[in-house]
Structure 1
């Protein structure tokens, strides 16, 4: 009899545990897409009025332009807002078959979206200590970007679709992540899609004397309707009819978020980074790398538009 009771208890426990796991694996509605940002040139401004995109394995794409597939280098090293904050003054748009770059006090620069590739314009640059084959955009583009930024030895590079991309797992981290061996990026730091929640942004701004724009965090997709910071519990994110991404890591923040995208200058009080450090630091990232947003890798490619419902499977 004792054996039967024990077996019964064990079976009940197992069924309850499996039911709990099944419940945890259900898709839960968390909100809808409220904003989509595509940054063709890393560290420059986003394309304006984007309402729909295609999520590809290398990031968001619209009108033939892929997110962060152009980059500025100096002496062969990738540059970003941390090195050149005035890159945020460059505005991007599409004109015919060209990526158009506009900046104060200079004529616009036109870069072909689908340039010719030959051995003469193929060069290797360093991106986060990794070698990457790129297309050099030429001397005219180099002179333009040097004039805009006010620095010498700058060049523009493009990661054309046919060129190999970087493997994300080779980016060195001081903590474990859920990146996979096959995940790739162009000139993004780590992953092809960064997601943030408007409610989390609202909480941060309520704590600041001067609210800041979400553009200082440069997310690809903003979601409205979720609970503040609930995104730390998300594992798989389903957007619209087909597209989905997978949590890889929380997005740790640095001094880049202190740069105002409208002025290209850093805040004198180091905000909003200092405020984030007060309530968004956690293990295993330590006391100086606050978390805001999610790094995600692409699970399923698909179209995304403003207003699409977002469902998640939680951890």
Structure 2
């Protein structure tokens, strides 16, 4: 039987993830997931572990009111409130998308600039300012916050076990930053799914996830693997047109609440 074996949320894009026993869903996926992002102060360009691997050591916990609690070794914790949705808007760029979103203020920017060691700003995306997902996949009204392209990412536990066996050591699921982990399927069974249901929520499987250098960063230490693993091994057998694929991007068709242990039904 297929079951939901793990749930994750990443409140601040590319910072540490949270392991959740349950999670509510809204139009943008897991409530609180990647609603915050760091950008270069001068250009507005987004920051991730790809260029700033120390972000893997930054904790940004989501608060019940939607704000963040920032913490890192050697830094005093800082609570950040959700900025007003139409005030202090800043132009930002994430991949090919440009949008205007509220800035979280100077105190958060100073704290984070000291941690990253360059001038940056913290921004938040309210639902009404969210991006549209990639044209040609999903529906015209599908929205995404600051995740790379889609609201949710699913990985089968057996798929992680497969790549771990090929690399020769257990790999952390957090290297691949999924929201949903499914247990009980064969390795890469998710590649063939088109629609699934968990609890009362149905999901569309819209596109495989192309992986990058971020997967080579140890989520515990922030150190990049000198042999470029597990990306090098993934490229040897998961490279397709469009990239090296691992995991599936999803869109939820309704709101609801998910809990670890829920059965998963493949509808198509």
Range class of TM-score, shorter chain: over 0.9
Q: How many aligned positions are there?
A: 265
Whether contact under 8 Å (1:85, 1:265) holds in the other structure is yes
- Answer with 1 or 2: which has the greater Rg: 1
How is 1:172-211 mapped onto 2 (pairs within 5 angstroms)? 178-211=137-170
2:25 paired residue number:
55
1:128 paired residue number:
95
Structure 2: how far apart are the matches of 1:302 and 1:232?
24
2:240 is equivalent to residue 271 of structure 1: no
Structure 1: how far apart are the matches of 2:138 and 2:214?
23
2:40 is equivalent to residue 81 of structure 1: no
**1:85-121: CA deviations, max 9, x gaps?**
1111011335674421111111112111x433453x1
2:10 is equivalent to residue 39 of structure 1: yes
Structure 2: how far apart are the matches of 1:116 and 1:124?
15
Once the 2 structures are TM-superposed, how far is the Cα of residue 47 of structure 1 from its aligned partner?
Answer: 2.3
Whether contact under 8 Å (2:85, 2:101) holds in the other structure is no
Structure 1: how far apart are the matches of 2:48 and 2:104?
17
2:212 paired residue number:
254
Aligned match of 1:91 in 55, 59, 72? 59
2:33 paired residue number:
67
**1:173-225: CA deviations, max 9, x gaps?**
xxxx5322111111111100100000110011111133220100000000111
Higher mean C-alpha displacement, 251-260 vs 87-96: 87-96
Structure 1: how far apart are the matches of 2:23 and 2:63?
17
2:73 paired residue number:
104
1:165 paired residue number:
130
1:300 aligned counterpart, secondary structure:
coil
How is 1:124-163 mapped onto 2 (pairs within 5 angstroms)? 124-150=91-117, 152-161=118-127, 163=128
2:2 aligned counterpart, secondary structure:
strand
1:251 aligned counterpart, secondary structure:
strand
2:253 aligned counterpart, secondary structure:
strand
Structure 2: how far apart are the matches of 1:99 and 1:141?
10
1:312 paired residue number:
266
Considering fraction of residues, name the structure with more helix.
1
Distance 1:153 1:38, change over 3 A: same
Structure 1: how far apart are the matches of 2:223 and 2:122?
22
* Structure 2: unaligned runs, 5 residues or longer: none
**1:28-79: CA deviations, max 9, x gaps?**
xx5111110011000011124x111112220101xxxx10000000131111
Normalised TM-score (structure 2): 0.93
Question: Aligned-pair RMSD on alpha carbons?
Answer: 1.6
1:4 paired residue number:
none
Normalised TM-score (structure 1): 0.80
Structure 1: how far apart are the matches of 2:190 and 2:254?
19
1:295 paired residue number:
249
Once the 2 structures are TM-superposed, how far is the Cα of residue 169 of structure 1 from its aligned partner?
Answer: 2.6
2:73 aligned counterpart, secondary structure:
coil
